[in-house]
Structure formats: structure tokens, C-alpha cells
Amino acid sequence: MSLTHKTAAELGALIASGEVSAVEVAQAHLDRIAAVEPQVNAFLHVDAETTLEQARTVDARRAAGERLGPLAGVPIAHKDVFTTADMPTTAGSKILEGWRPPYDATVTRRLREAGLVILGKTNLDEFAMGSSTENSAYGPTRNPWDLSRIPGGSSGGSSAAVAAYEAPLSTGTDTGGSIRQPAAVTGIVGMKPTYGGSSRYGLIAFASSLDTPGPFARNVMDAALLQEAFSGHDPLDSTSIDAPVPSVVEAARQGDVAGLRIGVVKEFGGEGYQPGVLARFHETVELLESLGAKVVEVSCPSFTVALPAYYLIAPSECSSNLARFDAMRYGLRVGDDGTRSAEEVMALTRAAGFGPEVKRRIILGTYALSSGYYDAYYGQAQKVRTLIARDFEAAFGQVDVLVSPTTPTTAFPIGERADDPMAMYLADLCTIPANMAGNAAISVPCGLADEDGLPVGLQIMAPVLGDDRCYRVAAAVENALESRWGGALLSKAPAL
């Protein structure tokens, strides 16, 4: 099997034992990137020399007798919303075109410390706002399963890179589903850790009370290894949880659901859901029951208003966060001809530098925070947020985890929802509640929809700091389904 088709754990073991060098592994992935990028467009920036230099460092450390960690020398694709001192960071926006940050994000720094080799920066919806990666200022990424379809979003470059074997691992950020939804529609694993479990320092902010860095991988164990590598308390992030990280690698190894109580969220299903998505979901629930789990239906009534509440809270926070892009200290500046005021230059720069979805959300957020509307919109949405947390709390009094489809549909065609914001927002219907309450949630492949042969994801939601439960159940599902399929779901994807 070629190096690009191995798991991250296998690659780490091969490098640690000296059977292959980190440079060989990096070169194999650079070659794959060169071969498939014209079709996929997952990356915004790839620099072979910087990549190989990182790999040479790992090989030198090994040669010097250093004991390497499980992911040392393993290549990774890094979402272009994390700052990197040695690579440009754009957040998919024209307003940051060519910007070189003066510092590394904590997640970036921890990837480097673990010896991961950063291949480049991946495409995303501008400032992580979107569900298709079509909102990137640098063109859409394509789904490796069907190049006419979206790879999900906002972390669509990261999901496509892993699904196209350009990298065994990638990073993402999940504000309303931006890791789980892209993972579901590309047939890979994507995890939103507990809010505060992974650092936001150096993550370009969209909605600070929701943004959560997390891993993508082609299997559950690799995702756990990556999450463990970059998680943990960070004094540079004031909302970072100062508590031990749940042992997700151990949970992924266990993969046992016997005696576990699993709740099916009653509110997620029915109208608006694709029949093939529901069919795979129900089969997987039956599978969990056959593996010894106790399945019950659980009602979470406030989940039905999670989406509208999210589209008030997230734009409100974004309208405030994106005020920093003012054309003064870094990034684009437009119209500074010596006659215009700073305010005029600011308004011209922001109009030229932001794309339509970012502008819509800034205006929507400014509206929701306006005096006179604040109580009816932002204030009311915050109350809904309390109700969602209470629904979770009540549910987790009865069951250990909750399950639902990750997305209502499979990957939709590029262009289909591009100018229909409300249709686009529905892609996050099932993923938003976990962001609102800060819970851990994962998406794991559970089959192909009959109508279109495209991947379907199962979402598993656990309490705050219950990340290990997500991995435990996801590993059980993966083990059982892969023995039924005779291999990973991704092996059914057409060759690029």
C-alpha cells in the first residue's frame, strides 16, 4: 500500500522504527498533492521546501536517538484560520491576502512540538462562515467523491485533503458544525471537542463563545491521536479549561458500547431529511443495539430553535470580532489617496475585502445588537441557549450519549445554495446544539445514501468533557461497519 493510503498511526510507527523516513512520507504526500490539487483545490498554500525542512528535522531527531511521539513525522494539512509564522494566513479572505502572522497559534505550536509536518494551509469559507467552502475568496474546494459537489464547510479544504489522501490528518474549527458537517459529506471522521478543551489562541475569531478547534482523520484512532496532541490547558486562552484532557486515545482503543445508554434525538428526522440519510442512520442505531447498547428516544424540544438562535448569536459575535479588520495595522487597505479620512478608507477596504456572506453576517449581527432589537433578538437567543443546555443536561440524566444524523442531506452540488443563505444554513441543523452548549460531538461515517451513493455521517454527542464517550461509540460503529463493508467507507470512493 502506498504511503499516502496508510493511517497516521501506521505512518508514525514506520517513522519511529526507521522503516521509512519522515522525508519519504512528506515527499509522497507532496507528490499526491501535486497530482490531485488541480481537481480538488483543497489547499491555499503549499510550500514543498518548508515541508521537507520540517521532515528533515524529525529524521535528525530520530537519528540523534530521541524517542519520538506517535505522530512525529506524520504530515498534516492545517486550516488557514490558524496563524502560522512561516506560512501566509488568509482565513479565506481577500482582506488578509498574503498576510504573514508574526506568531504561531497554540494549536500550530503544539503540532510542531509533536513533530507533525505541516504540508500547507487549507481552504475554507471566508472567516469560517459557511457550509460549503464556496464562500472562500480563492475559489471552491471540490468533494473527492464527486467533483461537482461541495466538500462541506467551513473546513472543506481540510475534509477534502484527508478524503483525497493528500494528508492523513488535518485540523479544522467548528463553530456551528464546520468540522462535523464536512467530515460527514466526505466520508471521514471529524470531532468537535468540548469548548475550551482546545485552544483558540491564534485562531482568527469568528464567534468566540462557539469556536472550537478539532481534528479530521480517516479513522477514529487517528482523530483521537491528533486531538490528544494539540489539546489541553492553554494560559493564553482565557476560556481554556484547566482540567485534564479525557483520554480519547484509550477510548478509541476500547470501542465498546455494551451496556451504554444511547439516546436518539426525537427532534432530528422527518421532513427536510434525505431518505437515504435517515435509512443509514436508523440502520446504525440498530447496529448499536445489536452491539449491546440500550437505545431510547429522547426529546430535546429547544433543539428546534437552536438554528435561529445560532444565526443571531454567531453573527452578533462576528460583527464585533471582525471590527478589527480596519485597514490600519495589517491586511488590505483600499482608497488611501491622501484625500480620504480613516473612516472612509475603512469602509472602502471592508467593502472590497469581505465577501457577501461575511457582509451579510456583519449587518445581521449589527442589527441584532442594536438598541431596540437587542432584547427581542440577541437577548432572546441567549435565553434559548440556556434552554438548549438544560435539554442536554436532562438528556444526559437518562443516557450516556445522544445520536442523530450529522447532516440532513448528503453533499449538495456546487452552486445549488450559493445565493440562498437560509438553504445553506440548514446544513448545520443537527450540529448547532452542541456548539451552543459547549458539548463534545463527533461525526463518523455510517454508509452511503441509496439515492446518490454519497457518504452519510452519524453524529454522537456527549456531555461537556465527555469527549472520550464520543470516541468510544465512534470506534464501536467504525469497527462493526468496516467488518461489514470489508474495509473503510472511503475505499468505495472513485479514484482521482
Partner 1 sequence: MSAITRDEVAHLARLSRLALADEELDHFAAQLDVIIGAVARVAEVAADDIPPSSHALPLTNVYRPDEVRPGLTPEQALAGAPAVEDERFRVPRILGEEA
Is residue 492 annotated as part of the catalytic site, yes or no? Answer: no
Cα 290 from Cα 292, distance rounded (Å): 5
Cβ of residue 44: shortest distance to partner 1, in angstroms? 17
Task: State yes or no: residue 422 binds partner 1 (CB under 8 A).
Answer: yes
Is residue 371 annotated as part of the catalytic site, yes or no? Answer: no
- Name the catalytic one among 21, 93, 158, 178: 178
Cβ of residue 238: shortest distance to partner 1, in angstroms? 5
Cell of 387: 434552554
- Cβ 73 vs Cβ 58: under 8 Å: yes
Give the nearer residue to partner 1 in terms of CB position, either 105 or 384: 384
Give the nearer residue to partner 1 in terms of CB position, either 116 or 358: 358
Cβ of residue 95: shortest distance to partner 1, in angstroms? 11
Cα 254 from Cα 234, distance rounded (Å): 28
- Name the catalytic one among 21, 93, 132, 154: 154
Count of residues engaged in binding partner 1, rule: CB under 8 A: 72
Taking residue 102's Cβ as centre, other Cβ atoms within 10 Å add up to 8
DSSP 430-491: TTHHHHHHT-EEEEEEEEE-TTT--EEEEEEEE-TT-HHHHHHHHHHHHHHHHHHHTS-GGG
Cell of 223: 482523530
Task: State yes or no: residue 324 binds partner 1 (CB under 8 A).
Answer: no
Query: What part of residues 345-384 is at the interface with partner 1 (CB under 8 A)?
Result: 345-348, 350-351, 354, 356, 359-360, 362-364, 366-367, 370, 376-377, 379-384
Who contacts 286 (Cβ-Cβ below 8 Å, separation ≥6)?
none
Taking residue 235's Cβ as centre, other Cβ atoms within 10 Å add up to 10
Task: State yes or no: residue 333 binds partner 1 (CB under 8 A).
Answer: yes
CA distances from 408 to 51, 153, 160 (A): 38, 14, 20
Give the nearer residue to partner 1 in terms of CB position, either 235 or 275: 235
Binding range to partner 1, per CB under 8 A, among 97-105, 165-173, 214-222, 447-455: 97-105
Is residue 79 annotated as part of the catalytic site, yes or no? Answer: yes
Query: What part of residues 426-465 is at the interface with partner 1 (CB under 8 A)?
Result: 435-439, 464
Cα 293 from Cα 270, distance rounded (Å): 24
Task: State yes or no: residue 296 binds partner 1 (CB under 8 A).
Answer: no
Binding range to partner 1, per CB under 8 A, among 134-142, 263-271, 284-292, 319-327: 319-327
Query: What part of residues 231-290 is at the interface with partner 1 (CB under 8 A)?
Result: 235, 238-239, 241
Catalytic residues: 79, 154, 178
